[in-house]
Amino acid sequence: MTRMSWFNTVSLTLGFAFLYVPMLILVIFSFNDGKLVTVWAGFSTKWYGELMQNEAFLNAAWVTIKVAVVSSTIATVLGTMAAYVLVRGGRFMGRTLFSGMIYAPLVMPEVITGLSLLLLFIGIGLDRGVLTIILAHTTFSMCYVSVVVSSRLMTFDRSLEEAALDLGCSAAQAFRLVTLPIIAPAVISGWLLAFTLSLDDLVIASFTSGPAATTLPIKIYSAVRLGVSPEINALSTIMIAIVTIGVITASLVNKRQLVRQQRDEQAAVRS
């Protein structure tokens, strides 16, 4: 077993401290009894109770979740279709332009994307609200789904599809019964990535949202400009807890699947 040098140990320690010490301080002060977020006044959970009664934050959270679920679902469908066309479509007229338009949002600054979408919605007379946020998030997140699914399709064994076609399946049936179940982990990963990007987006949502539809990142940013309140610390702590639970759950599920796969391989070797 190779031991790390002192330089690597110090570098990793400083890196993790830079990332996670501010989060730890935020979590600790979310239980602060006083209103000042930098002065400890005793342990209390009252800010969590007040957060649950803050209709502005609750409404923003509901809008954010609704937008994230709908936009990530649409982006997953469109991104999977685009990936299938790029990988399996062969050469066709406009392929270079099509692939460039798919991958352009990956390198396009969010300010440019948000401003262009804002001008588009104004030009067609579409009032800004939940619908415009969904359309905007779908536009920039579908390219991430396309990249993830494309990488899986490139390593896909096409002989399985050909076998299904030889056995009498139509192209649609082969895709539904053979291709889709195999690439399902990549499709799910793309959906989760699009969902996370939608939850985290601030810049594009600030251009495409209206007075009647405010996402949680916009609400938090507006509140922080007036000063950090203990309620924001409590809200951030809840979000950190949800992400932590999700990461631990995914790790346990992957570990169980790996152990099960190893057992199946050992059983196959023994037999």
pLDDT digits (tens, 9 = 90+) for 125-153: 888 888 999 999 998 899 999 988 888 88
| Residue 98 domain-assigned (yes or no) | yes
| Residue 201 domain-assigned (yes or no) | yes
pTM comes to 0.82
CATH number where 197 lies: 1.10.3720.10
Range of the domain at 90: 57-245
Which of 47-51, 171-175, 216-220 comes out lowest in average pLDDT?
171-175
Read off the pLDDT band of 74 (50, 70, 90). very high
Q: Which residues contact 178 (CB under 8 A, 6 or more apart)?
A: 160, 161, 164, 169
Q: Where are the beta strands (DSSP E) in the chain?
A: none
Q: Which of 90-99, 182-191, 259-268 has the highest mean pLDDT?
A: 182-191
Q: Cα(33)–Cα(29) distance, rounded to whole angstroms?
A: 9
* Whole-number pLDDT of residue 72: 92
| Residue 96 domain-assigned (yes or no) | yes
**Average pLDDT in the chain:** 84
| Residue 130 domain-assigned (yes or no) | yes
Say how many domains are in the chain: 1
| Residue 31 domain-assigned (yes or no) | no
**Is residue 56 within 8 Å of residue 219, measured between CB atoms?**
yes
| Residue 81 domain-assigned (yes or no) | yes
Q: Say which DSSP state 108 is in.
A: S
Asked if the model's pLDDT at residue 75 lies above 90, the reply is: yes
CB-side exposure of 219: number of CA atoms within 13 Å? 22
* Whole-number pLDDT of residue 136: 92
pLDDT tens-digit map of 189-232: 888 889 888 988 888 998 998 877 888 888 888 888 777 778 88
* Whole-number pLDDT of residue 135: 92
271 compared with 87, residue with greater pLDDT: 87
| Residue 271 domain-assigned (yes or no) | no
* Whole-number pLDDT of residue 31: 86
Asked if the model's pLDDT at residue 1 lies above 60, the reply is: no
Asked if the model's pLDDT at residue 56 lies above 90, the reply is: no
Read off the pLDDT band of 100 (50, 70, 90). confident
Read off the pLDDT band of 2 (50, 70, 90). low
| Residue 27 domain-assigned (yes or no) | no
* Whole-number pLDDT of residue 9: 85
For range 31-45, the mean pLDDT? 79
Q: How many residues does the chain have?
A: 271
* Whole-number pLDDT of residue 76: 93
> How many other CB atoms sit within 10 Å of the CB of residue 134?
23
Q: Which residues contact 138 (CB under 8 A, 6 or more apart)?
A: 71, 74, 75, 78
Q: Cα(247)–Cα(241) distance, rounded to whole angstroms?
A: 10
Q: Cα(119)–Cα(208) distance, rounded to whole angstroms?
A: 9
Report the sign of the C-alpha dihedral through residues 124, 97, 208, 72, in that order: positive
